[in-house]
Amino acid sequence: MKRKIAQAMVVAVGALALAGGTGAASAAQVDRAPAGVDTVVMGSCDNAPNDPTKKPSAAAAVKWFADRKGSTKYQGCCQKSVGLAWNRKTKHPSAIAFWRSSDGKRHTSGKPPKGAFVFWNISSYGHVGIADGNGGFWATSVNGKIGHKSSVNYFKNYLGWKAGNNN
């Protein structure tokens, strides 16, 4: 019962965010959010556990995404997906909260190294992916699924990057 209430609250918060804080958006509008906009806060994405046997690395983080190319399983759960890719212990409620946190130094220029977390301010929750080391990235919400793009400028409002890690 608590889980259903929490999920309903997440949908309501997402609807409010899409409506610009007016409350005019419906749950159906949240489901039809534009590609590239993660409208679900991490609480509803916590059903996938970290793998304690996985050794984290930049290559493993990129491989995690590449192995799931085309999947829609993590739509709305960008923060959870990068956490799983790096097998992170630290949790943040959203990508924008992670960006604003003291968890890693923020870099606003330069090419992100392979495995770095890359961030965008594209919704009230932000968006995060994993750098490929060549100027591109892997993320959820790439045409509505996990995908790869050759430039971090694929999404608008690129914020920068933080070094990848499994903190």
- Domains observed in the chain: 1-32 (no CATH), 35-162 (3.90.1720.10)
**Cα dist. 119→4, 6, 126, 127, 155 in Å?**
30, 26, 7, 6, 10
- Note the residue count of the chain: 167
Q: Could you report the per-residue pLDDT of 73-107, keeping only the tens digit for each?
A: 999 999 999 999 999 989 999 999 999 999 999 99
Contact 21, 123 (CB under 8 A): no
**Cα dist. 60→12, 55, 78, 86, 149 in Å?**
35, 8, 17, 7, 18
Taking the whole predicted model, whether its pTM rises above 0.75 is answered as no
Q: Could you report the per-residue pLDDT of 117-165, keeping only the tens digit for each?
A: 999 999 999 999 999 999 999 999 999 999 999 999 999 999 999 999 9
